[in-house]
Structure 1
Amino acid sequence: MTGRLDPGITRDMVERAVCPPPPDILCIGAVLWDVIGRTTAPLAPGADMPGRIIRLPGGVAMNIAMTLVRFGLTPALLTAIGRDAEGDTLLAEAARMGMRTDFVHRSDHLPTDRYMAIEGPEGLFAAIADAHSLEAAGDRILAPLADGRLGSDAAPWSGPVALDGNLTPDLLARIAGSPLFAQADLRVAPASPGKAERLLALLGHPKATFYVNLEEACLLCRRRLSDAADATAALLALGARRVIVTDGGRGLADADGNGLVQIRPRAVTVQRVTGAGDTLMAAHLVAERRGIPRDEALAFAAEAAARYVAGETEI
């Protein structure tokens, strides 16, 4: 062998294969299988109705990553996935879509997590999120941010991070004060109303932007709030730097110390709801990355979520 490169292979191609460029954004949190049953018939507790049942990649971090990929970005997943057949298939699907999966923590003893939801004509009827493996993995999912692969205490990651509330309250509290996140553009989602209060420790983070719906805002503030604008004001008063609050088709608001932007999304016929908030968050991040003005960025994100809810966007 002469050590020469094949004429069709450039040195840059070799270097990129050995040392791929850093990801555009880190998606930290739940990556699991969604099992979703949908029916067009009215639902009541105990009802047994005809419908469709699908399985697809899901979890807040995964939903955000899928939207980012559709907009041409390369996200990296920081999560825990079991060394089981379901985990192998899930990671292969993520890599096929264009995500970086080389930073994922694989567990020999924990199964791949799952989420199960039932959706009816009025939207989400009930859901159960089993993220026990992610919670058990703890800060092991953050190892690449400390060991030099993505950053370190001395040179922390300075790009955007999408962080979800499926992590334990203890880990989220440690993230709030960690030097590993001191320079990051932190975008935070609660995962569900049932986990919204886990984010209280992050409210004072100087570089965090929170994406919550009105119900989640009420839980964080521990009182009733009238609309999206009222909710942003209440969360800013609690110490949040910036907040985007959604209130279904009634409107959404983006507020920080520089003012308030409000829009009303277009009305659509609801075809699906699981993942809609994650889609909005990812699209908003993309818009801001492109330098789109604040009011237009909010409208861009609202339209992406509307298209998703209406079934106009491929999953």
Structure 2
Amino acid sequence: MSDTGRDGPADRPGPADRAGPRDGALLVVGDVVTDVVARHSGPLAPGTDTVAAVRTVPGGAGANVACWAVYEGCADVRLLGRVGRDSAAWHERELTAGGVRPLLVTDPKAPTGTVICLVDGGASAERTFLTDSGASLRLAPEDWSPDLLDGVARLHLSGYLFFSAPSRALVSVVLESARTRGVPVSLDPASAGFLTALGVDRFLGLCSGVDVLLPSRDEACLLTGLSDPAEAAAELSRRFPLVVAKLGSDGALVARSGSVRAHVPAARATPRDTTGAGDAFTGAFLASLLAGSGPGEAARAGCAAGAKAVERVGGRPPTRAPGKESEESAEIEEWEEKESSGAADAWAGR
């Protein structure tokens, strides 16, 4: 097993890694939500107040992946998602500013999904999600057209689509369209908690036709019943042509045909918020594959993007729209100042 992540003969691009023209588009089908990020410097205090720095930002695993793919060099990224009327215009503006072509369906009844992200302000910056999926999981077969694959070289599915009946039906239709067109499909399982509720066997049965699986450590172990992530990745690669297991600070594993082919080390970072780190990895990984890289090199790009992500608040990269990035930088500086200005003392003195 390689420790460098460089592509040896067994790890050079294959059918699951690179297909279609290099300048073809990436189509992401997935969730668009509003994230309310609360970064607290001390333990949560049940029954009373806990001081936190709170910020509302655009999010959603599918939307985050799309934005990171653009940031990492993919010139044509499209996103199919469903949002509520309450914030449809805002999300469309944010995606457009991030270089993504939004293909958003406005739900007439449900509001945009909302996720409360509780971020530990300690060294780990670990996050806990409280999720109201809202309109995001109401994406359904009637929102799909095979024409959406015109010019598309790769299709990526957010695993959150597997956790409601309408979006599961959509997945089936999308996978059939991709098979007909010969477009390779990648999938991020998205949530160990939701996977447990759905059932592992049911989830795996719905994944028929997926070419690249990108699970986290916990998801890989859950899907196989194995405690060792390397063994889990190898086992999953007997079912999926390519498996890339994301291990956070331990890097990533690239597996195929029942064995781990590369262990890519993590890039160094000082975590502030781990929200969206896996999405950043996935977006950069797919952008690298589209640029012609092999899976080891693409995983290295993914690790580098994940490191950038954990040093930012929220799950998106900096936007490259004119004038927008400076606004974001000012907001983050204000956030950091709030965290370090003795907010707890000010609160206590009210």
What band does the TM-score fall into relative to the shorter chain? 0.7 to 0.9
Which shows bigger deviation, 250-259 or 42-51? 42-51
Aligned match of 1:108: 108
Matched ranges for 1:218-297 at <5 A: 218-221=221-224, 223-227=225-229, 229-237=230-238, 239-257=239-257, 260-297=261-298
Structure 1 residue 44: Cα displacement: 6.3
The separation in 2 between residues aligned to 1:303 and 1:115, in whole angstroms, is 25
Q: Match of 2:63, SS?
A: helix
Matched, 1:185 2:215: no
Gap change, CA 1:137 and 1:311, over 3 Å in 2: closer
Q: Match of 1:274, SS?
A: coil
Aligned match of 1:9: none
Q: Give 2:160's match in structure 1, choosing from 157, 166, 175.
A: 166
Matched ranges for 1:120-139 at <5 A: 120=120, 121=122, 122-139=124-141
Which shows bigger deviation, 164-173 or 54-63? 164-173
Gap change, CA 1:111 and 1:173, over 3 Å in 2: closer
Aligned match of 1:305: 306
Structure 1 residue 114: Cα displacement: 1.1
Q: Match of 2:234, SS?
A: helix
Question: What TM-score, normalized to structure 1?
Answer: 0.79
Q: Match of 1:307, SS?
A: helix
Gap change, CA 1:80 and 1:60, over 3 Å in 2: same
Structure 1 residue 253: Cα displacement: 0.2
Q: Match of 1:37, SS?
A: strand
Q: Is the 8 A contact 1:176 1:201 kept in 2?
A: no
Gap change, CA 1:98 and 1:261, over 3 Å in 2: same
The separation in 1 between residues aligned to 2:95 and 2:152, in whole angstroms, is 24
Gap change, CA 1:138 and 1:173, over 3 Å in 2: closer
The CA deviation string for residues 247-296 of structure 1, in whole angstroms up to 9 with x for no partner, is 22123101112861112213422111110000001101111112224322
The CA deviation string for residues 8-32 of structure 1, in whole angstroms up to 9 with x for no partner, is xxxxxxxxxxxxxx97211111011
Gap change, CA 1:231 and 1:288, over 3 Å in 2: same
Structure 1 residue 157: Cα displacement: 7.0
Q: Can you give the 5+ residue segments of structure 2 that lack an aligned partner in the other structure?
A: 1-22, 320-350
Q: Can you give the 5+ residue segments of structure 1 that lack an aligned partner in the other structure?
A: 1-21
The separation in 1 between residues aligned to 2:134 and 2:143, in whole angstroms, is 14
Matched, 1:54 2:44: no
The separation in 1 between residues aligned to 2:243 and 2:206, in whole angstroms, is 12
Q: Which one scores higher on RCO, CA 8 angstroms, separation ≥ 6?
A: 2
Gap change, CA 1:23 and 1:41, over 3 Å in 2: farther
Gap change, CA 1:125 and 1:259, over 3 Å in 2: closer
Gap change, CA 1:42 and 1:270, over 3 Å in 2: farther
Aligned match of 1:97: 98
The separation in 1 between residues aligned to 2:160 and 2:108, in whole angstroms, is 21
Q: Match of 2:160, SS?
A: coil
Q: Give 1:217's match in structure 2, choosing from 210, 217, 220.
A: 220
Aligned match of 1:5: none
Q: Which amino acid aligns with 2:106?
A: R
Question: What TM-score, normalized to structure 2?
Answer: 0.72
Gap change, CA 1:259 and 1:231, over 3 Å in 2: closer
Aligned match of 2:171: 175
Aligned match of 2:20: none
The separation in 1 between residues aligned to 2:83 and 2:61, in whole angstroms, is 14
The separation in 2 between residues aligned to 1:163 and 1:314, in whole angstroms, is 23
Structure 1 residue 181: Cα displacement: 1.9
Paired residues, what number? Answer: 280
The separation in 1 between residues aligned to 2:304 and 2:260, in whole angstroms, is 22
